[in-house]
Amino acid sequence: MTRTFLVGAALVVTSLAGLAAASDWQFLVHDGCRFAVPGSWRPNADASVVAAPDGSNLSVRSFRITSWSEHKAQIKAAFGPVNVLHEDSDRRLWFEIGDQERTQHYIDVANGLGTCTGLLEIRTTTAPDTRDTVARIADSIGPMPAKTP
């Protein structure tokens, strides 16, 4: 069963098939894109940005594209050298940039002629489970399914 409620203009989904639900995580939807963040993170009015108490944050947008391969090439050229390339596939582009104080994760998920794109900034001095938190957030970003159970 999926329970939903509105936060401002954003749809918050408390359980979504295909995503590991945890009682201390919240599922949000913005611009046709779904994502999950820890329960302590707070969304803005339309859930396009969520922020953690430590200043870490995630912004999510959808973009229309004409070609996934051309889009990825443009993004890689725009960002230049990256610290870590997590994935560069037919489905997702995920890489890290940043410095000692904060790391930005660019997460782009293909959705036909569009993308769900997240820019996740993590303060590097946060909790010891930061790597797991980043992976869970990155894995949760994607298009809303056409139907939810």
**How does the average pLDDT of the chain come out, rounded?**
84
- Please indicate whether residue 68 or residue 129 has the higher confidence score (pLDDT): 68
Residue 31 DSSP symbol = T
Q: 67 CB contacts (<8 Å, ≥6 apart)?
A: none
pTM above 0.85, yes or no: no
pLDDT in tens, 60-69: 999 999 999 9
CB 105 within 8 A of CB 94: yes
pLDDT given for residue 49 in this prediction: 96
Q: What average pLDDT does range 91-108 have in this prediction?
A: 92
